[in-house]
Structure 1
Amino acid sequence: MINARQLEVLCTVIEVGTTARAAELLAVSQPAVSNMIRHTEDLVGFALFVRKHGRLVPTQEALHIAQEAQHLFLQQKRIAAIVDELRGGTIGRLSIVATPSIGHGLLPRALSLFMKTRPKLQLSIELGSIDEIIRRLVSGRADLGLSITPPRHSAVSVHEIGDGEMKCICPADHEIALLQRVSVTNLNQVRHISYGARTPLGQAIDSLFSQQGLERRYFCEVRHTATALEMVRNGLGVALVDSFGLIGQPAEGIAVRPITPSLPLKTHGITSNLFPTTNIALQFQSFLADYLKEASSAPA
């Protein structure tokens, strides 16, 4: 069987007509080229060149082989280009599963910037609970998980991507908007939109109320911050939402205030320990960290 190197030598000699010139182009010795041609002729069982006036003239058989070899060389170049693009993260497939608080706002905005230099990249985006994130990662159905709540599972690794905090939001004309900083005690005096006691955010907020010696009261229970944000936009009440969900959101009609006591949050990147993390997933995780850092330092 003729290998790719033998085909390369054959095609180069056909192109330049002498083993000496072919050796220069291939950066090898002239005897090495001559030996390669002889070995190839032994393999195929017929002559590939005849010598005329000091030049090697290819036989019709050699020309036919060389013509077919061009398809192989083009395919090799295409594969090399694909490898370079995969190494650079410009093509391929990126599968992300995120909790809704990240997936509804932050993720699309970050991806829109990330994709500008990667137009050939294929995306798969799923939203789900932290349990769904773990299931997809350990089964190999996702490359990267994103969540505010870090999972505790031996089959995944967790990486802190960015810092945030809970914020109080209310309609722009609400009495709470008159405050520069909102105490959680104020929330029990207004129509409070909040999260179930069994949800991670609900438990974290309950801890803030406990520090003040209070029990949290709310008239409307939601599961996700994106829902709470839309409820407030429509004038239904006041809510605490994570700052990640506010990134890039239009400020018209709502007021955003810091809270006391503060409730710091983090965005976490989650990867599987059972499957190698793809290069493009690692690139996006790093990109998202830079995006969050820039967003947090931007003026409010």
Structure 2
Amino acid sequence: MTEHRHRLRELESLRAVVTTGTTTGAARRLGISQSAVSRALTQLEARVGHALFVRTSGRIEPTVEALRLNDKLDPIFETLAQIEGADWAAQQDEPLRLIVPPTLAHHFVIGRVASFLKANPGKRLQLDIQATDVLVAGILDLRYDLGLTSAMIQRSGVNLIPWRRSKVVCAMPKGHPLAAKRIITPTDLEGVELVEFLRRLGTRSITEQIFARAGVRPVQVAETATNMAALELVREGLGLTLINPFPLLTTGMEGIEIRPFDAAIYYNTGFVVPAGRPVTQLARQFMRYVKLTTPPDSYSEPI
């Protein structure tokens, strides 16, 4: 029996390091020391006969074998979570812990939260508004039940449930010379002032690749982290921006003209849930409600 407990701790340590990305985060999640996590990983590697992590310059990255093993553990730990009663023994009045980035929160989700709670008396919901990197960390640490984002997330430990798909558009101030065109192409942006997004955001590298292939160099006048900030700078006449139109532009915006941009840049807006754990009943209800009550628009379509 003791040997089985040791094996379970090894598998818990593997799973925690894969989902949190560090031995420190894994130790915090499991409530044990960092050295205990490292020891468990070493024992597991010896047991399975494969290197499960690559350790370089203080960093630890899972190997393909580690990710495959972690995938096989999903049903095991989901069953353990059910046995321990996280969901089936939960009180019915526990709130839905929801986390959303600022743009989606203020221009879409808050209205849905209000109407959902009005339609479901007695249900409770905690809404946190944070950047997407905080959202992912919170879902990984199980501090939230559900997230909603349009960001391009590729992270083990969370599952994405696609909901709506939209295509990049070019937003410009009223009266801009390019407003005379029906469709904006990459070559149209040669020498044009452009408000761009920070390099840590997924679409920045994609737009740079498109400009490089087209051999054009827009004039970068500002960088920002949010869609709303980019549009406000555009409205002030600072330049153009390439942006996800959902949900900010679905009803238009005063002082802004919108044109299709001829490039294959797509955004998937979806729900974020912890991997390997059952989605709570209240989270499922809220997702279904959002899907059913989102009106059609010109820029996005359901997935």
TM class, shorter-length: 0.5 to 0.7
Q: Is the 8 A contact 1:225 1:245 kept in 2?
A: no
Call closer, same or farther: CA 1:214–1:247 in 2, change over 3 Å.
Answer: closer
Q: After superposition, where does 1:276-295 map in structure 2 within 5 Å?
A: 276-292=278-294, 294-295=296-297
Describe the shift of the 1:132–1:162 C-alpha distance in structure 2 as closer, same or farther (beyond 3 A).
same
Q: Secondary structure at the match of 1:159?
A: strand
Which of 179, 182, 187 is matched with 2:181 structurally? 179
> AA paired with 1:151?
I
In the other structure, the counterpart of 1:193 is 195
Q: How far does the alpha carbon of each residue in 1:243-290 deviate from its partner, in whole angstroms, 9 at most, with x for none?
A: 113255443221111101242211121101354322221122233334
The 2-side partners of 1:106 and 1:129 are apart by: 16
Q: Secondary structure at the match of 1:227?
A: helix
2:144 aligns to what? 142
Deviations along 1:94-119, one digit per CA (max 9) or x if unpaired, are 22222334233232243344344135
Match of 2:245 among 243, 246, 249: 243
Corresponding letter in the other structure for 1:195? F
Pair 214,174 (structure 1): closer, same or farther in 2 beyond 3 Å: closer
| 1:19 alignment partner in structure 2 | none
Q: How far is the alpha carbon of 1:234 from its aligned partner?
A: 2.7
Indicate the SS of the match to 2:286.
helix
Q: State which of 149, 163, 166 in structure 1 corresponds to 2:165.
A: 163
The reply on whether 1:211 has 2:239 as its aligned counterpart is no
TM-score (norm 1): 0.61
Measured against aligned partners, the alpha-carbon deviations of 1:155-195 in whole angstroms (never above 9, x if no partner) come to 22111111111111111222122111111332343321111
Aligned residues: 211
| Other structure's SS at 2:229 match | helix
Aligned to 2:69: none
Distance 1:101 1:207, change over 3 A: farther
1:223 aligns with 2:240: no
1-structure distance, mates of 2:122, 2:236: 38
Task: Give the conservation status (yes or no) of the 8 Å contact 1:109–1:248.
Answer: no
Partner letter of residue 143 of structure 2? R
- Structure 2: state its 5+ residue gaps: 1-91
CA 249–175 in structure 1, closer or farther in 2 if over 3 Å, else same:
same
CA apart distance, 1:292: 4.8
Structure 2 counterparts to residues 25-174 of structure 1, below 5 A: 93-174=95-176
Distance 1:120 1:171, change over 3 A: farther
Q: Judging changes above 3 Å, is the alpha-carbon distance between structure 1 residues 112 and 239 closer, same or farther for their aligned structure 2 residues?
A: farther
1: distance between equivalents of 2:128 and 2:218? 32
Deviations 1:212-259 (A, max 9, x none): 133554111111111111222233221112111325544322111110
CA contact (8 A) 2:99 2:128 kept: yes
Instruction: Using the TM superposition, give the Cα deviation of residue 153 of structure 1 relative to its aligned residue in structure 2, in angstroms.
Output: 3.1
Q: 1:149 to 1:251 in 2, by over 3 A?
A: closer
Displacement over 4 Å in runs of 4+:
247-250
Are the equivalent residues in 2 in contact too, given 1:150–1:158 (CA < 8 A)?
Answer: no
Q: Alignment partner of 2:191: what SS?
A: coil
Q: Deviations over 1:65-96 (max 9, x none)?
A: xxxxxxxxxxxxxxxxxxxxx5xxxx752222
**Unaligned segments of structure 1, at least 5 residues:** 1-85
Structure 2 SS opposite 1:182 = coil
Structure with larger Rg = 1
Read off the aligned partner of 2:175 and give its amino acid letter. Answer: D
| 8 Å contact kept, 1:137–1:156 | yes
- Name the counterpart of 1:257: 259
Give the stretch that moved more between structures: 151-160 or 253-262: 151-160
Q: 1:133 & 1:194 partners in 2: Cα distance?
A: 23
SS of 2:296's partner is helix
Change (3 A) 1:109 1:194: farther
- Cα RMSD of the aligned pairs, angstroms, is 2.8
**Partner SS state of residue 169, structure 1:** strand
Percent of aligned positions with the same letter in both sequences? 23
